Structure 1
Amino acid sequence: MYSENIDIDETHIRLKTDLKLHCLSSYIFKIRSELKSYIKFNKNFLITFDKIKVENLESLPEIVQMMVRSSNLSDVGPMATVAGTISQLSLNYLISKGSKNSIVENGGDIAIINNRKIVCGIYSNNKVIGNEIAFRLKPNKFPLGICTSSGRIGHSISFGDADSVTVIADSSSLADGLATRLANEVKGENSQDAISNALEIAENYKELFKGVLIISGDNIGTIGKLPKLVKTKKFELDYI
C-alpha cells in the first residue's frame, strides 16, 4: 500500500492505495475547479442549509450532480456533502484505474474499497470512551462510505450536541449528508434524550444507510447494521 497526503486549498486528503501511479491530485484539482466555477454561477449553492432545486442537473459537472442528489436525499444544503463527495469521486477515479484496495479520507469523511480486513478508528473525544474504539471492516468488493459529523469537533457547522455521529452507507457523499442531518438532531435535556431524538429521525432515512453510531456524553446509540466495534490503542486524527 502506498500512502500520500494531498492538500489542495480546503481539501486535505489522506490516501492509502494499491496504485503506485494514479494522478489523483490532478483529478481532485479538476473537480474542485468545476465546483468553484459552478458556485460563481449559483452563489446560493454555497450558503443554503436547505435542499436545493437545480435546473438541468444532468448537464452540470459530476461533483455538482452528486452533491445535489446526496444533499436532497439527506435534507441538508449541498455543501454539507462536499467533503464526502470529493472522497467518493476520488475513490471512483482510483477504481476506474484498477484499484482493489484504497482508502480516501477527507476531513474525517472516508470512501473505501478493501480486499482485506482493516480497522477504522472513530474519533469522538468522548470523555468516557475517548478515542479508543474502531470498526473492524471485513473485505468488501464494493465501495463503502464512512462519514462523521460532530457538534464539538472540527469546523463544519452542526446544530446538535453530538461528540460524533458516524454514518455508514454505500456512498460517502450520501453518508456525509446523513451524518450532518442526524448530528443536527442530537439535542435534548440530556445525552440520552438527545440520542433518542436523533435515532427517531434516523428511522426516516433507514433505507439510505447501512448503520449509524451516535456518541454523546455518557451514552451511545446505534441503528442499522454496523461493523464490529473493537477497542484500540488511543489515536489522533491521523489514524485510519
Structure 2
Amino acid sequence: MTTSRIIRERIQIEETNILLKTDLKKHYLPNFILEQRMELTAYIRVHPEFLTSLEPLVVETMPPTPLIVSMMARAGRRAEVGPMAAVAGTIAQLSMGFMLKNGAKYVIADNGGDVALKTNKDVTVGLYAGESSLSGKIGFKIKHEKTPMGICTSSGTVGHSISFGRADSVTIFADEASIADALATSIANSAVGDSDNIAVHNCLERADNFKEHIRGTMVVVGESAGTMGKIPKLVQTDKKVVLGDFFDVY
C-alpha cells in the first residue's frame, strides 16, 4: 500500500495563522478562510457586541446567520463565555471540514495552537506550556481512529488571548475544535488561588461542569499539573515546540 506524501503549509490571513499538514496537494483553503473572515467581519459590522461581549450571546436565525457566527455563538454558550473565545478553533474546524470535503484523508489545521485534525495515521501532539518545565517535554499520542478531534489550548502567561487566570496551559480535547477553544478559555479563567496546586484544582473543578462536552482536560500551572477525563496517552518528547508550531508527526 502506498501512502500519500504529507505537505506542510503556512496560511496567514490577518490574525488567522494556520499551519496546515495534509495529503491534499491542490486546494483552495486560503480563499475559503478569507470568505469565512469576510462573513464574520460583515456580521460584526452590524452586530458590534459580537466582537466585544465576554458573555454568551444568542444570534438570530433569520435572515440566515453565517455558519462561522452560529458555531462561535454556540460554543460560547456551551462554555459560558463570549463568542470570540471560539474564533481560532472555529476557523480551524471549518478549515478541516473544507479539506475533508475536497478529498483529504489527512488534515491537521493548527490555528495558533488551536487544532482540528482528522488523520489516517497516529500523530503526536506536543505540549507547549510557557515557562513550565513540562513545556516541550511531553506530548499526546493521538490515535487516528479517535479523530476527528479538536485540541485547543488557552494560557494566561503566553499569547495574546484574554485570560483572567494564570495557567501556563489549559488543553482541552473535544469532538469539535470550536467548542474546545471556548472551553479552554472558560476553564483557564479559573486558574486562580494562593498556590499552583490550588489554581490547578480550581480549573479541574470548573472543567467538571462541562464534562459532557469534553473528552479530556490537562492543566499546567507552574510545576503543578492535573488531568480530568480521558486524555490521550502521554509520551516523552524533546521537540522544541512553540505556540503555533504545536505538533510533530512521527
Same fold (TM > 0.5) = yes
Please point out which of 157, 160, 181 is paired with 1:155.
Answer: 160
Please point out which of 2, 7, 12 is paired with 2:12.
Answer: 7
Rounded Cα–Cα distance in structure 2 between residues aligned with 1:225 and 1:123:
19
1:74-126 residue CA offsets vs partner (Å, 9 max, x unmatched): 10100000000000000011111121211000010000001111111111024
Rounded Cα–Cα distance in structure 2 between residues aligned with 1:7 and 1:181:
26
The one-letter code matched in structure 1 to 2:219 is I
Secondary structure of 1:207's counterpart equals helix
1:65 is aligned to 2:59: no
Secondary structure of 1:226's counterpart equals coil
Secondary structure of 1:99's counterpart equals coil
| Partner residue, 1:169 | 174
| Partner residue, 1:45 | 50
Q: 1:53 deviation in Å?
A: 1.8
Whether the 8 Å CA contact 2:108–2:117 is kept in 1: the answer is yes
Secondary structure of 2:209's counterpart equals helix
Q: 1:131 deviation in Å?
A: 1.7
Unaligned runs of 5+ in 2: 1-5
Q: 1:239 deviation in Å?
A: 4.3
Using the size of structure 2 for normalisation, the TM-score is 0.93
Whether the 8 Å CA contact 1:122–1:133 is kept in 2: the answer is yes
Rounded Cα–Cα distance in structure 2 between residues aligned with 1:130 and 1:177:
22
| Partner residue, 2:61 | 56
Please point out which of 129, 143, 151 is paired with 2:148.
Answer: 143
Secondary structure of 2:103's counterpart equals coil
Identity %: 46
| Partner residue, 1:27 | 32
Unaligned runs of 5+ in 1: none
Q: 1:58 deviation in Å?
A: 7.5
The one-letter code matched in structure 2 to 1:177 is A
Q: 1:198 deviation in Å?
A: 1.2
Rounded Cα–Cα distance in structure 2 between residues aligned with 1:167 and 1:149:
9
Please point out which of 87, 110, 123 is paired with 2:128.
Answer: 123
Rounded Cα–Cα distance in structure 2 between residues aligned with 1:230 and 1:95:
28
The one-letter code matched in structure 2 to 1:110 is V
Q: 1:130 deviation in Å?
A: 2.9
The CA RMSD measured in Å over matched residues stands at 1.2
Whether the 8 Å CA contact 1:160–1:184 is kept in 2: the answer is yes
Rounded Cα–Cα distance in structure 2 between residues aligned with 1:171 and 1:118:
18
1:125-147 residue CA offsets vs partner (Å, 9 max, x unmatched): 24332321111111126410000
Q: 1:153 deviation in Å?
A: 0.1
Whether the 8 Å CA contact 2:156–2:166 is kept in 1: the answer is yes
1:84 is aligned to 2:96: no
Please point out which of 193, 198, 211 is paired with 1:193.
Answer: 198
Secondary structure of 2:150's counterpart equals strand
Whether the 8 Å CA contact 2:79–2:183 is kept in 1: the answer is yes
Whether the 8 Å CA contact 1:130–1:234 is kept in 2: the answer is no
Q: 1:203 deviation in Å?
A: 1.0
1:183-234 residue CA offsets vs partner (Å, 9 max, x unmatched): 0001111011111111111111000010000000121010000101111014
1:22-72 residue CA offsets vs partner (Å, 9 max, x unmatched): 100000000000000000000000001000122226811110010011111
Using the size of structure 1 for normalisation, the TM-score is 0.97
Please point out which of 200, 218, 222 is paired with 1:217.
Answer: 222
Structure 1 residues 147 and 58, CA gap change in structure 2 (3 angstroms):
farther
